[in-house]
Structure 1
Amino acid sequence: MELDKALTVLNLLVPEATDLILKRYNVLRTIKNCQPIGRRLLAINFGVTERVLRSETDRLRELGLVNIESTGMSLSELGERLINDTEMLIHRVKGLSEVENAIQERLGIKKVCIVEGDYEQNNIVKKDVGRKAAEIIVSLLTDNMRIGIMGGTTMALIANEIRASKKFTNLLIVPGRGGLGENLEIQANSIAAKMAHNLGAEYKLLHVPDNIGPDVLKALQTNTQIKNVLDEIKKIDMIIFGIGTAEEMTRRRGLSEIKKDELKMKKAFAEALGYYFNKDGAPVLHTDSVGIDLSDLKNIRHAICVAAGASKAEAIYSFSKYHKDYTLVTDEVTAKEILNIK
């Protein structure tokens, strides 16, 4: 019997089974991401009392999926193996494969990967989005690759989660652009270094800030060290980037009022790779920094966009009118919001 048919039969015979599977999966998922975790903290995470949660965690322990010790709860070896299989089952139960196909067709892009849950409301979903993106990236790695990664909180999640079971030869990580005027932890340089450390790769940094004048930028590009990194960026095989709303990015970058007025006048709506796009996907402005150029996209073998949060749905839709040869990693709520765009 095919899995989809088996799930249909199961829902008819035991309709409460799906809810129970989802509940236990989310308990295991939270334990995996926070282990070791105490029952009280786990209960707070789910918004229930310890007494209500105890019956579930005790049952999971009886099934050999969870270890409960004085330091807290953690997944057993069986639990670690099972959660990956359960993740695929949840994907089928919630019809996320169909949603992935629908978005891929609507946007006309290369591939879509959806993580179950709401990125904006659940920190576990945020971590899982980073982990899923990391898995996709690692699956594409080969020796002698150059990888570019942009800045931002989601990119930082990827760098934290990424691991490889083997060491790749001559693997180089570079920032996709110069730094943002923001926290060090989410600047492209820091993220590239962290990612390289976790993969056992080499890295080069680009010490050029955003929002500096064109004359200064031109002078900086003649610097031998900076020019060397820019040359590497031009040869990258993979770019990992996010998409945000123009409003969000003007706030993050601390743009001047003149720049903000220019963006409003040009009806900037989305931002990706240091460029602003209008609702029709046309680039209308770029940041005063150096790094990857939009014209480079057509020469990059793998483009991985990791953008999640329902507020970004229309920005993703707009960018996809400009460029389609990329893989999108997002969350369930954002995915459904994209399909609701008229």
Structure 2
Amino acid sequence: MAIIIPVKLLHMPSIPLNKVLRHFSVLELFEFSQCSQKAAAAIKLTNTKNFKLELNFNLSYVRINDDFKFEVKKLRADEVENVTGFRTFEKNQNMIYMDSRNKMTCLWEDRFARLRTIFSHLSKLFGCPTYSVRSDASVPTHAFLLVMHEIISRQSEINVLEIACKSLQENNVKWILEKLTVTDELMLGEKLSEDFGKNNSIQFVAKSLFIFNAKWVTPQKLLSMRNCVAIELDGSLLTDQDIINFFENWKSGQYPNLEFLSIKSEKLTRDLVLPGALRIERDFGWSQPKIICGKQRYIHCDFQILAHNGTIGSVQLDELARDVQFMVS
């Protein structure tokens, strides 16, 4: 009969311990870290600094590597019967249950505060940068800003950032964008004054840019977004002449990476005429779907515009919605 001898992992030298821990899944690493402070410290031997950490306030979860999700639900009487144990986050014990091999549900009274606690705990445990933060207008400002402070203390770039919560001040938005360069996707949901973006070091370099309440976006500020791949402005005050000037700039090569543009403005009129544009018959104007910045886009082409380098762009004008959409072939 074989005798099973338990292996004392934490008594092993760092190199063989590292080799063992590298075979652990995200969940197994987390569970191992719950054993002791020494176990938690050993986690970083596995090069977890390359992990992908995501916080989603909208859907109430923190995710690691697209593999494992810690989801937070508000504690209710009908949820207690599901509880199978407790886990510790930032010295706070938390009731949990496993939904599947890939998701742990954590029950707490204050959902947003505990999302931040779990995010902070995992960020320190794995020592990895934050890949994305998604938010919306229901998120308390205090919870959102605590997360931003923590991220900015450790990194200067983030891939995906949605800036939206209950009542964020303009100086907070300015501080975040001056401290964090957003590389892939930036969503701005706050109401900002017309002076926003003046006399500061904010750079719009994200590949995909979505701005609600875009009244502050002037033609000059639109030109500062010239390196973006996709730009969407909702609620802007750009005029017919601003749109004409934009297309002249695009034709001359001022927006070399641009593949998609959408501008909704109450200032647009039915009299908008695009010089040099070729009108397309309505029945034949549907564009081919195109994946741009991870999203499938297509428009109904009312006009085609030719850039000086021979690139063709399709334009859709919705006079009722006061919306201009533009897609590069």
Is this a same-fold pair by TM over 0.5?
no
**Structure (1 or 2) with the greater strand fraction:** 2
**Structure (1 or 2) with the greater helix fraction:** 1
Q: TM-score with structure 1 length normalisation?
A: 0.29
Q: TM-score with structure 2 length normalisation?
A: 0.30
Higher RCO (CA 8 Å, separation ≥ 6 residues): 1
